[in-house]
Amino acid sequence: MSSLRAAITAVSGWVPEDILDNHQLEQMVETNDEWIQTRTGIKERRILKKEGAGTSYMATKAINSLLEKRGITANDIDVIICATITPDLLFPSTANLICEQIGAKNALSFDLAAACSGFIYALETGSNFIKSGQYKKVVVVGADKMSAIIDYTDRSTCILFGDGAGAVLLEPDEEGYGVYDSILKTDGSGKDLLRAKGHGSADPLTPENIIKGEHFFYQEGKAVFKFAVTRMADVSAEIMKRNNLTGDDIAYLVPHQANKRIIEATAKRMGVGMDKVTLNIQKFGNTTGATIPLCLWEFEKDFKKGDNIVLAAFGGGFTWGSVYLKWAYNS
């Protein structure tokens, strides 16, 4: 069997400067800091306010600093995959717009929509481009401008989300580092519990749909919570078992940041202490496709070459999964 794997060789991220904290939300809807922190773990989130700037703007910032860190140019990139559910436009793809903004002329590019699992789906996809042997530099970026689809009069959703982008570079590795395994799943019966309806071909944007608020993010939080808590924990336990890993073998769990309680349940099931879990939900909230790469970016300084790292996510669809990788460098 080939020992060629896709290793993460650089990470970067970008979040907007503007902060929306729980106290500001108290002025906007009937809520309070204590409720939000106890139920979700979130204290504040970032909001992209720059006029005319969409998801590609944030992704471009993250990728430009990624390239600078690795000392390569945009023309060195072979593939760009953008995991997002808030594309700038219906088409061309956000990845396409990113290519133009960073000046990438040699890359194939496309968007991947798997909601909050988007980044791990895109990572597995990017990993297979590398394993084909045909592509040497693959950028996987998770980016979402959630503020564009949030109803800031709905207290059940507006407290949860923020905007941001995180990117990784994948390169071939034959020395035992990189992506070892992944389990990715879908259950389409979740489609009515977590969605944004009024943008698509089945239910296009019409004045009536806008008045009904169909273009906004919608979630049945309690029902989604139950699925998320079991599915994310189950799949993470499954990937550990399949790779003969115990909690002690795991250096870090890097989970999607939707709710601190879901993260705690997953860590407990894996036998991993919270000291080995990357958390930034308190600062950024749920940035959908960006939560996991933003965590990788923030915790990169703590990761050591050879660390066993498990990524886990759950999101709309439903989609969920886990990826097991060995970290490839010391920073």
Q: Which residues are known to be catalytic?
A: 116, 256, 286
| Stretch near ligand UT7 under the rule CB under 6 A, chosen from 49-57, 169-177, 257-265, 270-278 | 257-265
When the beta carbons of 37 and 209 are compared against ligand UT7, the nearer one is 37
When the beta carbons of 105 and 222 are compared against ligand UT7, the nearer one is 222
Q: Are 85 and 316 in contact (CB under 8 A)?
A: yes
Q: Which of 179, 258, 309, 310 binds ligand UT7 (CB under 6 A)?
A: 258
Beta-carbon contacts of 291 under 8 Å, excluding residues fewer than 6 positions away, are 116, 119, 142, 166, 256, 257, 258, 280, 281, 284, 313
Task: State the minimum distance, in angstroms, from the CB of residue 309 to ligand UT7.
Answer: 20
Report the alpha-carbon distance of residue 257 to residue 259 in Å, rounded. 6
C-alpha neighbours within 13 Å on the C-beta side of residue 310: 33
Report the alpha-carbon distance of residue 120 to residue 322 in Å, rounded. 7
When the beta carbons of 178 and 317 are compared against ligand UT7, the nearer one is 317
| Stretch near ligand UT7 under the rule CB under 6 A, chosen from 180-188, 207-215, 223-231, 277-285 | 223-231
Report the alpha-carbon distance of residue 182 to residue 177 in Å, rounded. 15
The SS3 assignment for 109 reads strand
Task: State the minimum distance, in angstroms, from the CB of residue 136 to ligand UT7.
Answer: 33
C-alpha angle 93-94-100 in degrees, rounded to nearest 5: 100
Task: State the minimum distance, in angstroms, from the CB of residue 232 to ligand UT7.
Answer: 8
Q: Where are the beta strands (DSSP E) in 252-318?
A: 252-255, 308-315
Show contacts of 145-148: CB within 8 Å, 24+ apart. 145/48, 145/54, 145/55, 145/58, 145/86, 146/86, 146/217, 146/286, 146/287, 146/288, 147/47, 147/48, 148/54, 148/86
Q: In 3D, which of 168, 185, 183 has the Cα closest to residue 327?
A: 168
Report the alpha-carbon distance of residue 182 to residue 203 in Å, rounded. 34
Determine the size of the site formed for ligand UT7 (CB under 6 A): 19
| Stretch near ligand UT7 under the rule CB under 6 A, chosen from 119-127, 153-161, 209-217, 299-307 | 153-161
Kindly state whether residue 146 participates in binding ligand UT7, applying the rule CB under 6 A: no
Residues 15-44 touching ligand UT7, rule: CB under 6 A, are 31, 35, 39-40
Kindly state whether residue 262 participates in binding ligand UT7, applying the rule CB under 6 A: yes
Residues 300-329 touching ligand UT7, rule: CB under 6 A, are 314-315
The SS3 assignment for 142 reads strand
Q: Which residue is nearest to ligand UT7 (CB)?
A: 221
Kindly state whether residue 222 participates in binding ligand UT7, applying the rule CB under 6 A: yes
Q: Where are the beta strands (DSSP E) in 204-331?
A: 218-219, 252-255, 308-315, 319-326
When the beta carbons of 146 and 169 are compared against ligand UT7, the nearer one is 146
Task: State the minimum distance, in angstroms, from the CB of residue 161 to ligand UT7.
Answer: 9
Binding pattern to ligand UT7, positions 69-108, x when CB under 6 A?
----------------------------------------
Q: Which of 37, 101, 156, 230 binds ligand UT7 (CB under 6 A)?
A: 156
Q: Which of 224, 239, 272, 281 binds ligand UT7 (CB under 6 A)?
A: 224
CB-CB neighbours of 229 under 10 Å: 19
Tally of residues, the chain: 331
Q: Which residues bind ligand UT7 (CB under 6 A)?
A: 31, 35, 39-40, 116, 155-156, 159, 221-222, 224-225, 228, 258-259, 262, 286, 314-315
